[in-house]
C-alpha cells in the first residue's frame, strides 16, 4: 500500500475543468501521472451506504468516476450521478453498455466501439442510435476503441455483446486491433478483461500495446489488489479501472490506516 501511495502522483481533476476530461488525460500521460477510475454500476449500488461510498471515493486516489455496466436495468443512473456530484469533485464519465445508459448529468462519455468483436451492433449500430441523443447533450464525447481479452471464463461483455474476446496469448492480434483503433481516430484504447474477470489483462499485452500506440491506454477487468494496479501502471497503462474490488470492499483504497 505504502509503495503504491508513494510511487504514483495522482492528479486531482477539479470540477471546474471537467469540460476537458480528455485533454487532462493527455496532460497526465505526458507527465507520466497515472490515473485511476472507480467504476460504479447503478444496479449494484447499496443506497443505504451511498454517503459512505462517496466518502471512500473522496479518500481514495481515484481521479475519475466511471458509471455503467454491461446490462443496467434500473433507471437510477441520473440519480446516482446527481448524488455523487453533490459531494465529489471528480469527473463523472459514462461507460455505457448500450445507449439507454446515457445520462446528461454526467460530464463525459466513453463512446465505445467493441473492436475485438465482429458484431456490427457493438461496432456501429448502438453508436448511430446514440449520436442524436449525444448531439443534444453537453457531454464530452471521448471515442474509445474497446478490446475484450479472454480472461479464463465467459464475461458479461462477451455474453451480452455476443462476441468472442481475443485470446490472451494472441498478442499480435491485440496489438493490430489496438493500432487499427488508433488509426480510425479513437482517442483512447481500452483493454478489457471483463468485470470480475478471473484473470486480468496480461502484463506483456499491456506492455506491447502501450509501447506501440500514441494515445492513452486504459486497462480494466479482474484487477483486485493495489499491487495489480501498480503492475498495470508499470507495464504501461495510463488509467486503470477498478470496479468489483471496490464494490466488494469499500476499504480497498483506504490509506487512513497506514
Ligand atoms: C469492467 O474494466 C472494468 O468493465 C472493471 O472490471 O469489475 O473486474 O474491476 P472489474
* Kind and range of the H or E run holding 189: strand 188-192
CA 191 to chain centre: 9
Q: Is the CB of residue 229 below 6 angstroms from any atom belonging to ligand 1?
A: no
Q: Give me the number of domains the chain comprises.
A: 1
Q: What is the pLDDT of residues 167-199, one digit of tens each?
A: 999 999 999 999 999 999 999 999 999 999 999
Q: What whole-number distance in Å separates Cα of residue 149 and Cα of residue 171?
A: 10
Using alpha carbons, select from 191, 188, 212, 208 the residue that is nearest to residue 200.
Answer: 191
Ligand 1 pocket mutation, candidates 110, 223, 229, 252, criterion most atoms within 8 A of CB? 223
163: Cβ–Cβ under 8 A, 6 or more apart, which residues?
Answer: 114, 116, 117, 118, 119, 122, 148, 157
For residue 30, count other CB atoms closer than 10 A to its CB.
Answer: 9
Q: What is the CATH number of the domain that holds 29?
A: 3.20.20.390
Work out the average pLDDT over 66-91.
91
For residues 237 and 219, the answer to whether their CB atoms sit within 8 Å is: yes
Residue 9 has pLDDT above 70, yes or no: no
Kindly tell me the sign of the dihedral angle through the C-alpha atoms of 92, 97, 98, 100: negative
What is the whole-number distance in angstroms between the Cα of residue 38 and the centre of ligand 1?
9
pLDDT value for 258: 39
pLDDT for residue 6 is more than 50: no
Q: Do the beta carbons of residue 97 and residue 131 sit within 8 Å? A: no
What's the start-to-end Cα distance of the chain, in Å?
A: 8
- Quick one: residue 183, left, alpha or beta (phi over 0 = left, psi -120 to 50 = alpha)? alpha
Q: Residue 216: which of 228, 203, 233 has the closest Cα?
A: 233
The strand pairing partners of 110, in sequence order, are 142
| Ligand 1 centroid from CA 192, angstroms | 8
* 65 part of a folded domain: yes
Domain that holds residue 6: 2-249
Question: Which residue bears the cell 476503441?
Answer: 145
Residue 256 located in a structural domain? no
Q: What's the pLDDT at 4?
A: 54
Q: What pTM value is reported for the model?
A: 0.93
In a domain, 254, yes or no: no
Q: Which are the contacts of 67, defined by CB distance < 8 A and separation ≥ 6?
A: 39, 40, 41, 42, 77, 80, 81, 92, 93, 94, 95, 101, 103, 106
Residues in the chain: 258
Nearest CA to ligand 1 atom 9: 243
Indicate whether 171 belongs to any domain. yes
Q: Is 72 in the pocket of ligand 1 (CB under 6 A)?
A: no
* CB of 220 shorter than 6 A to ligand 1: yes
Question: Phi/psi at 81 (nearest 5 deg)?
Answer: -65, -45
Over residues 27-39, mean pLDDT: 98
Backbone angles phi, psi at 77, to 5 degrees: -60, -50
Q: Are 87 and 54 in contact (CB under 8 A)?
A: yes
Domain assignment present for 224 = yes
Q: What sign does the CA torsion over 161, 170, 215, 220 have?
A: positive
Q: Measure 54 CA to ligand 1 centroid, in angstroms.
A: 18
212 in any annotated domain: yes
pLDDT for the residue 19? 65
Mutational test site, ligand 1, from 144, 191, 222, 229, max ligand atoms within 8 Å of CB: 222
Does residue 85 lie within any of the structural domains? yes
pLDDT for 45-58, tens place per residue? Answer: 999 999 999 999 99
Q: Is 241 in the pocket of ligand 1 (CB under 6 A)?
A: yes
Q: Which atom of ligand 1 is nearest to the CA of 70?
A: 4
Is position 140 within any domain? yes
The whole-number average pLDDT for the span 68-80 is 85
Amino acid at each position: 500500500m505504502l509503495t503504491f501511495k508513494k510511487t504514483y502522483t495522482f492528479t486531482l481533476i477539479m470540477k471546474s475543468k471537467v469540460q476537458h476530461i480528455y485533454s487532462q488525460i493527455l496532460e497526465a500521460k505526458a507527465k507520466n501521472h497515472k490515473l485511476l477510475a472507480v467504476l460504479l454500476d447503478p444496479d449494484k449500488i447499496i443506497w443505504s451506504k451511498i454517503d459512505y461510498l462517496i466518502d471512500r471515493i473522496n479518500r481514495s486516489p481515484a481521479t475519475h468516476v466511471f458509471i455503467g455496466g454491461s446490462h443496467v436495468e434500473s433507471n437510477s443512473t441520473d440519480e446516482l450521478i446527481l448524488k455523487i456530484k453533490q459531494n465529489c469533485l471528480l469527473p463523472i464519465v459514462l461507460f455505457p453498455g448500450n445507449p439507454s445508459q446515457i445520462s446528461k448529468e454526467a460530464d463525459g462519455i466513453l463512446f465505445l466501439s467493441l473492436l475485438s468483436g465482429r458484431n456490427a451492433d457493438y461496432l456501429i449500430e448502438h453508436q448511430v442510435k446514440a449520436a442524436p441523443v449525444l448531439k443534444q447533450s453537453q457531454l464530452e464525447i471521448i471515442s474509445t476503441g474497446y478490446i475484450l481479452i479472454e480472461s479464463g471464463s465467459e464475461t458479461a461483455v462477451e455474453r451480452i455483446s455476443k462476441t468472442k474476446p481475443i485470446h490472451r496469448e494472441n498478442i499480435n492480434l491485440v496489438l493490430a486491433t489496438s493500432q487499427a483503433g488508433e488509426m480510425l481516430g479513437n482517442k483512447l484504447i481500452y483493454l478489457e478483461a471483463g468485470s470480475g474477470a478471473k484473470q486480468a489483462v496480461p502484463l506483456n499485452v499491456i506492455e506491447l500495446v502501450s509501447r506501440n500506440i500514441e494515445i492513452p491506454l486504459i486497462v480494466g477487468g479482474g484487477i483486485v489488489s493495489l499491487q495489480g494496479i501498480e503492475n498495470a501502471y508499470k507495464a504501461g497503462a495510463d488509467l486503470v479501472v477498478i470496479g468489483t474490488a471496490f464494490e466488494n470492499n469499500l476499504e480497498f483504497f483506504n490509506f487512513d490506516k497506514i
